[in-house]
Structure 1
Amino acid sequence: MTWSEIAILVVAVAVLVGWLLWVAASRLDRLHRKVMASRLALDAQLVRRASAAVDLAASAELDPVTSVLLAEAAHAVLDDDADARRLVESVPGLGTQDAPRPRRLLGGMAPSRALAESDLSATLRSALEDAEDVAELRDDPAGDELLRNLSAAWYRAQLARRFHNEAVAQAQRVRGKWWVRLFRLAGHAPMPATVELDDAWPPGLGRPLEPAAGTS
């Protein structure tokens, strides 16, 4: 094999390796975008859940003490959400070239926000733990609408968290490949992290399109 043939072979291999690295980097960037988009969707649904809880607390459908506790828990989420409201507003432009790319979303949810969301879940479960009380609320059209809005937002938030965590797991697997680490294909982007919080469903509430527990 002549030197010119060796040179051509080396160049061809270098081009092939470069192309493969570019493909891998592009895939990783798409995964990062998927994680950020799913996180934005999760934040949007959690904000809707907190807003539905505020509406329920302000409706006079619950006893005064429960209403106050629920309002405080919901407002704690929304007040801690100085960030999340901005994120929700940016959802439509995420896929555009000029849209901001908030890399911090890859790093997971702030502990204070996760704690506030978990406290809201616990407060809602306490308020809606009695199936008979929930059934009585549903007998009132206004109360039934409030519970439907809450259950729909909560259900979508659970699904959004599941999809987000699956997207994070997929990105983490790719980030763990040796060639990704060797060639630093992730750049300075933080390692994607799952969102862990308490969003367990109140047994008495009933899933969307399902009857509440204790009803026929």
Structure 2
Amino acid sequence: MTPWQITLLIVVLIALIVMSLCVMLARRLNRLHSNVLKARLVAEQALAARARYASEAARSGELDIAGALILTERAETCLDNSMVPIVSEGLEELYDADALSGARRNNSEITPAEAAAATAQRRNLESELSRTLRLTVGELDPADIAPEHQDTFAKLERARLDVRMTRKFHNSQVAQARHLHKLWLVRLFRLAGRAPMPQTIDIDDE
């Protein structure tokens, strides 16, 4: 083979290797984005369950009046705002969250700034519920809970654990996706397309 043929062969091989890497990275990035959204849905469900069981626990009569009133208000407010996404970086719009989970579509009349403000408020509400649970239910001695209310508090405890576990899993998926977003091949060839950098769920989860 002549020198120019060898050079051409090397260039072609390098191009094929780069193309293969790009395809592999693009597929992995797409899979991670999908995993992030699925994990986010599970975290949303865990947060809703926590608020629901917190409301039931507040009405059980096991807490003092002040604690029960505050917990009821915090839990009901979280339930009222549960349709506001806990994260709103725009990933759901590209991956069609309705097709993935039957979740809500974002109202097209809401501006990005308004969506971000609503999401920030939602995170604050969930964090406030966490702090309230810590100061009310967290101070209860399980042995003092009446037998007829044991099941309610057990469900609440499981829901609190689910929130921590699902948030941790979601954020681990986000970390992997963000790592890929920052790779030079991904940035050079725009392998992420229009997909935004995924964001973590940043709340006080107790």
- Normalised by the length of structure 1, the TM-score is 0.74
* 2:80 equivalent in structure 1: 79
Match of 1:119 among 115, 120, 128: 128
**Partners of 2:52 and 2:20 in 1: how far apart?**
48
* 2:37 equivalent in structure 1: 36
1:186–1:19 Cα change, 3 Å: same
Q: CA offset at residue 41 of structure 1?
A: 1.0
Residue identity in the other structure for 2:194: H
Deviation readout 1:81-106 (Å, 9 max, x if unpaired): 12359x9xx999628xxx789899xx
Bigger relative contact order, structure 1 or 2, given CA contacts below 8 A and separation 6+? 2
Q: CA offset at residue 174 of structure 1?
A: 1.1
- Normalised by the length of structure 2, the TM-score is 0.77
Q: RMSD between aligned alpha carbons?
A: 3.3
Give structure 1 stretches of 5+ with no counterpart.
Answer: 201-216
Equivalent position SS for 1:110? helix
Q: CA offset at residue 182 of structure 1?
A: 0.8
Deviation readout 1:129-166 (Å, 9 max, x if unpaired): 4344x4311xx122211110000011111111111111
Task: Say yes or no: does 1:163 pair with 2:169.
Answer: yes
Contact 2:98-2:105 within 8 A present in 1 as well: no
How many matched pairs? 188
Q: CA offset at residue 186 of structure 1?
A: 0.7
Q: CA offset at residue 65 of structure 1?
A: 2.5
Contact 2:83-2:104 within 8 A present in 1 as well: no
Deviation readout 1:182-212 (Å, 9 max, x if unpaired): 1111111111111111122xxxxxxxxxxxx
Give structure 2 stretches of 5+ with no counterpart.
Answer: 87-91, 107-111
Identity %: 36
**Partners of 1:94 and 1:131 in 2: how far apart?**
39
**Partners of 1:158 and 1:92 in 2: how far apart?**
25
Residue identity in the other structure for 2:73: E
Task: Say yes or no: does 1:148 pair with 2:148.
Answer: no
Match of 1:94 among 100, 103, 107: 100
* 1:210 equivalent in structure 2: none
